[in-house]
Amino acid sequence: MQPKFIFITGGVVSSLGKGIAASSIGLLLERMGLKVSMMKLDPYLNVDPGTMSPFQHGEVYVTDDGAETDLDLGHYYRFTHSPLSKKSSVSSGQIYHEVLRRERKGDYLGKTVQVIPHITDEIKRRIVDCAAHSDVILVEIGGTVGDIESQPFLEAIRQMRYEKPNSCLNIHVTYVPFIKAAGEVKTKPTQHSVQLLRQIGISPDMILCRSELSLSEDVKEKISLFCNVRTDNVIECADVQHSIYEVPLTLHAQNIEEKICQMLQLPSQPINLTNWQQLIETIRHPKGVITVGIVGKYVQHQDAYKSVFEALQHGAFANGYKIEIRRIESDRFDESGAFPDWAHGCDGYLVPGGFGDRGWYGKISCAKYCRENKIPYFGICLGMQVMVVEFARHGLGLIHANSTEMDQTTPDPIISLLEEQKLVTDRGGTMRLGAYPCLLKEDSKAHLAYGKPQISERHRHRYEVNNKYRPQLEKAGLSISGTYEEGDLTEIVEVKDHPWMVGAQFHPEFGSKPLEPHPLFRDFVKAMIERKTAC
C-alpha cells in the first residue's frame, strides 16, 4: 500500500499544541493497526536547533542517530512508536543548504534555481523519503499560516495534494477564544486563518479547534459554514483538566481516527485504549504526592527541560503517585557553597543538562546537600559532572577540582574535553551525539533498575570524566557503575552508602514514555517516595 499523508498546520497563534495533536492522532492510528511515521517541518533558517538558546527554542531533542531536533519529536516518541531519525526533523536551513550544495555541484545543469520548483521539490522528496515503509505519515508544519518563512512548506503541501489527490489530508489547528466580557467564544480568528490557508491553495479537510471551553453545536456549525468543512469534521480540543495524556481520549471520543481512515481509505481495526484509560485513572487518582526540586538555569522557561519534566511524571505514574515540580534557579545561589534555606523541603533533587558556568555553584551546593543529608539526587549530563566534581572537592579533598568548561586553569580537571574535541571550532553537531552502548556493573543501582547488563542511551555533550582521577574517586566511594568500553568513558556514577544518588552522562529522559517509564526515573521517584514515607 502506498503511504498516506496527513499534514497538520496551525493558525491564529503559535503554541496551540500542534505537536500534542499530531502525537495523539498518531497514537490512535497506531492502535488501529497502522504503521505510523511522524515528521516536523520547521521554518527557521538554522540548520537545526542545536546551537539555539533554550530560552529561544526550548529543549533540543536527540534521536538515536544523533540528530538534534525540535522538542515536538519528544512528543512523537512519548505517544507513538514511530521510528524517529534525522529524516524526521527538517528545517528551512537544511532545505536551502542542500539545494545550494547541489547547485554548486552542478546538479541542476545550469538552470535558474528557484523556490518553485527546486526548494519545494526538495521538501516533497524528504516527506516521501520519511514516509517510506509506513501506512501513514503525519507531517507537522511549524509556525502559523501567514508566516513568510513557512510559505515554501505550504506550497509543497499544495503541490502534493494536487499530485496525490486521494492520499493527502490537511488538519488545521486553530484557536477559538472565549471573550469573558462578551461571555461567548469567537470564531472570527478561525475564519481568517482558514481564509489565509485557502488563499495559498489549501482547503482544510478537518479543523481542530483549541479552546478553553467545550464548543456548542452552534459554534461548530458556524465554523463549518464559513470554513467550508463538514460539521462532523470540526473537532473540539478544549483544555484538559489533569494531563496532556488525556488528549488522545478526547479526540477518540469524537471518532477522529475513524473519520481519518474513511477519508484516506485506510484499513483499520477495532481500537483498544484500555491501558491508556488506566493510565489516566492513575493520573486522576494518585496514592500520594511528592515534590522534586529541579536545580537549573533555564527552569523558568516552560519547554527548556520538557523531556525531564515528562519523564518525572512517567516515573510518578509507574509508582502510582503525583509529582510536583519545584523550579529552583541555580544562579540565585552564592559562592559560599551553602544550600540556602529557601531551597530546602523537597523529597529529592534533580540537576539536568546544560552548558556554561552560570549557576555552577548552585548545582555544586545541591549535590553536596543531597550527599551529606542522604537525599535522593539524580544528575543528568552536566548534573552528573556536577556530582563528580562535588565528590572530588569534598570527598577527596581536591578543593580546586573543577570542569575545564568552567575553569580552564583548574589544577584538578576532574571533567575535561576529549582530545578530539579540543580541535573542534564549529558549534553545530560536533558533540558526542546519539545512542552509545553502556555496560553496567553488576548489583549497582543502575543494573537493578535496568535489569540487564548492557543498555543503549542517547548523548549530547562534549566533556567527559577524566580517567586519570577514576581510581581515586572509586577508592573514596564513588562507584563507576556504567561505562562505554570502546572509548573507556564513564557513563553512570553512584555514591556508595547513599540511598539513591546517581548521575548519568547520557540523557535518559529522551527514552521515557508514559506507559514505558525510564528505569532510572522510575527508581528515582521510588527512592523519593521511600524517603518521604520513612520520615
Best-predicted range by mean pLDDT among 175-189, 297-311, 327-341, 445-459? 445-459
Catalytic site residue 507?
A: yes
pLDDT in tens, 1-43: 799 999 999 998 888 899 999 999 999 999 999 999 999 999 9
Catalytic site residue 509?
A: yes
Which of the four pLDDT bands, split at 50, 70 and 90, describes residue 207?
A: very high
Residue 148 pLDDT exceeds 60: yes
What is d(CA 301, CA 324) in angstroms, rounded to the nearest whole number? 16
Quote the mean pLDDT of the chain: 92
What is d(CA 88, CA 41) in angstroms, rounded to the nearest whole number? 8
Total number of residues shown for the chain: 535
What are phi and psi for residue 32, nearest 5 degrees? -95, 10
Q: pLDDT over 70 for what percent of the chain? A: 97
Residue 208 pLDDT exceeds 70: yes
Architecture of domain 287-534: 3-Layer(aba) Sandwich (3.40)
pLDDT in tens, 452-497: 999 999 999 999 999 999 999 999 999 999 999 887 899 999 999 9
What is d(CA 302, CA 485) in angstroms, rounded to the nearest whole number? 37
pLDDT computed for residue 327 by the predictor: 94
pLDDT computed for residue 229 by the predictor: 95
Q: pLDDT over 90 for what percent of the chain? A: 80
pLDDT computed for residue 430 by the predictor: 66
Stretch 312-341: mean pLDDT: 91
Kindly list the domain boundaries of the chain, sorted by start residue.
4-279, 287-534
More confident of the two residues 359 and 260: 260
pLDDT computed for residue 46 by the predictor: 85
- Count the helices and strands in the chain (H runs, E runs): 17, 23
Write down the catalytic residue from 75, 498, 507, 518: 507
Provide the CA 529 distance to its chain's centre, in angstroms. 26
Write down the catalytic residue from 59, 68, 457, 509: 509
Write down the catalytic residue from 381, 405, 464, 494: 381
Whether 287-534 and 4-279 are alike in CATH topology: the answer is yes
pLDDT computed for residue 376 by the predictor: 98
4-279 maps to which CATH number? 3.40.50.300
Best-predicted range by mean pLDDT among 146-160, 409-423, 427-441? 146-160
Output the nine-digit C-alpha cell for 98: 542542500
Residue 138 pLDDT exceeds 80: yes
Catalytic site residue 310?
A: no
pLDDT computed for residue 177 by the predictor: 92
Which of the four pLDDT bands, split at 50, 70 and 90, describes residue 234?
A: very high
Query: Global pTM?
Result: 0.93
pLDDT computed for residue 420 by the predictor: 56
Report the candidate in 279, 259, 277, 278 with the shortest Cα–Cα distance to residue 268.
259
More confident of the two residues 415 and 332: 415
pLDDT in tens, 252-273: 999 999 999 999 999 988 999 9
- 3 state SS of 435: strand
pLDDT computed for residue 535 by the predictor: 72
